[in-house]
C-alpha cells in the first residue's frame, strides 16, 4: 500500500498509468478506458484524493488530462497515412461518428480537417 504520496508523485504516477493504458488500448490489449476510481484503486488512494492532488499540481481534472492525452494520441495516429479515420477511431475504441464529435469538441476541427492541415489527404 502506498502511503503519503505527495501530489506531484500522484500526478506522475497517474500520467504513467494513463500512458501505459493508452498504449494497451491502441495495441488491442484493452478495449475500455480506465475509470478514475479504477486508477485510484491501482494507486491505493481514494478517488477524491487522486482528483484533488492532480488538480492541485496541474490545475486540471483527471478527465481533462485523459482527454488531452487521448487527443494527442489521436493526432499522432491520424498523421499515419496508412490508417483511415475509421481505423484510428476503432483503435481508440470509438465509433467513427463519435470519434469525430469527440475530436472536434477537443480540437475545434474534425479529424479530416486535421489531416488537411497536415497535408495528409
Q: What is the pLDDT of residues 36-84, one digit of tens each?
A: 999 999 999 999 999 999 999 999 999 999 999 999 999 999 999 899 9
* Class of residue 70 by CB neighbours under 10 A (exposed 0-12, middle 13-18, buried 19+): buried
Cβ proximity of 74 and 103 under 8 Å: yes
Which cell is 110 given?
A: 474534425
Which cell is 3 given?
A: 502511503
Q: How far apart (Å, rounded) are the C-alpha atoms in residues 115 and 58? A: 30
State yes or no: pLDDT of 18 exceeds 50: yes
How big, in percent rounded to 5, are the helix, strand and coil portions of the chain? Answer: 70, 0, 30
Identify the pLDDT of residue 5.
Answer: 75
Q: How far apart (Å, rounded) are the C-alpha atoms in residues 46 and 114? A: 38
Identify the pLDDT of residue 119.
Answer: 78
Identify the pLDDT of residue 1.
Answer: 45
State yes or no: pLDDT of 24 exceeds 80: yes
Domain borders along the chain are: 7-117
**CATH class of the domain at 7-117:** mainly alpha
Best CA proximity match to 64, nearest among 28, 101, 18:
18
Instruction: Please report, rounded to a whole number, the percentage of residues in the chain having pLDDT higher than 70.
Output: 95
Amino acid at each position: 500500500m502506498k502511503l503519503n504520496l505527495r501530489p506531484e508523485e500522484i500526478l506522475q504516477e497517474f500520467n504513467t498509468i494513463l500512458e501505459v493504458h493508452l498504449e494497451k488500448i491502441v495495441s488491442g490489449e484493452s478495449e475500455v478506458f480506465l475509470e478514475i476510481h479504477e486508477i485510484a484503486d491501482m494507486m491505493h488512494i481514494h478517488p477524491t484524493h487522486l482528483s484533488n492532488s492532480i488538480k492541485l499540481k496541474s490545475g486540471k481534472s483527471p478527465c481533462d488530462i485523459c482527454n488531452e492525452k487521448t487527443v494527442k494520441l489521436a493526432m499522432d495516429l491520424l498523421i499515419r497515412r496508412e490508417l483511415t479515420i475509421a481505423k484510428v477511431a476503432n483503435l481508440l475504441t470509438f465509433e467513427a461518428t463519435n470519434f469525430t464529435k469527440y475530436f472536434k469538441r477537443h480540437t475545434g476541427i474534425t479529424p479530416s480537417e486535421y489531416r488537411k492541415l497536415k497535408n495528409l489527404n
